[in-house]
Amino acid sequence: MTTAPGTPAYFERVGAAAFRATEHVGGGWREHEQHIAAALGLSVHVVELDRDTRRDDGLVLGRLSFDILGTVPVDVVDARVSVLRPGRTIELVEACLAHDGRDFLRLRAWLLRPGDTAELGGTPLPRIPSPEETPPWDVTSVWPGGLVASLEVRRRQLEPGRASSWARTATTLVAGEEVSALAATAGLFDVANGMTVRADPRDVAFPNIDLTAHLFRVPQRGWLGFDTSVSFGAQGIGLTSSVLHDELGPFGTLAQALTVRPHHG
């Protein structure tokens, strides 16, 4: 879907493989750094663009494994894509995003041959209450930053670290470019870690160092739902686990490894 001129965007293309982050990607931990969520979507976008220049059979992305290698300022980032495991029906593709010559994000994606398995479709994963059944929540009451401010969020909190929630945005991923439903949706995956906190982020930092999503169908545009549990261990590590939903129901799972760092003094 190509957006109309003037629509706010997280990135603007400034070169063949270069994208400038806008103020809408300001982070939740430090506003002068990028919230990594939009960069995840951008890396999926460049993988799909690369796929479509090399082949015409529409391989679908079944697993997205992101490693977050460091923080990045709100500035220009460079993208590169390579095929690690070529194949007629299955590929392993890597996309890296870099700033000033330093990689800060790496995506390894498995691309699989599509097929008609509608008669076999189904999942035992339970649905969460729809967006209409879920009360609005002001996410900016917990988190600062341009990306968080760009979201509309609904949430049903069960306890700290356990909630179902929905998020959507009117901000497009890349200004003036056609972006797939998957890339647009992947640009919101990372907000799962902030949807139901176990501890006040002013007292405890718990950034994720990775994100892995396994998908069993392509999501629809619009609301992205999370059925989320957050766990902290006793040795400084944690885990955010979510079942991913669109308005049709579950479509995959997501996990984020956390480094848990209480603020002292």
At 30-82, the pLDDT tens digits run 999 999 999 999 999 999 999 999 999 999 999 999 999 999 999 999 999 99
pLDDT at 4: 57
Domain boundaries, position 175? 9-114+129-262
Does residue 119 belong to any structural domain of this protein? no
The reply to whether 1 falls in a domain is: no
Tell whether 154 is covered by a domain. Answer: yes
Domain assignment present for 123: no
* 2 confidence band (pLDDT: 50, 70, 90): low
Read off the pLDDT of each residue in 171-188 and give the average, rounded to a whole number. Answer: 98
Domain count, the chain: 1
Is residue 68 one of the residues assigned to a domain? yes
Q: For residue 254, is it within any domain?
A: yes
Assigned domain for 120 exists: no
What string of DSSP letters covers the chain?
A: -PPPTT--EEEEEEETTEEEE-GGGB-SS-TTBB-HHHHHHHHHHHHHHHHHHH-SS-PEEEEEEEEE-S--BSSEEEEEEEEEE--SSEEEEEEEEEETTEEEEEEEEEEE-----GGG----PPPPPPGGGS-B--GGGT--SHHHHTEEEEEEEEETTEEEEEEEES-EEETTS---HHHHHHTTGGGGGGSS-SS-TTTEE--BSEEEEEESSPPPSS-EEEEEEEEE-SSSEEEEEEEEEETTEEEEEEEEEEE-EE---
Q: What is the CATH number of the domain that holds 67?
A: 2.40.160.210
Please check whether residue 122 lies inside any domain of the structure: no
| Position 88 pLDDT exceeds 80 | yes
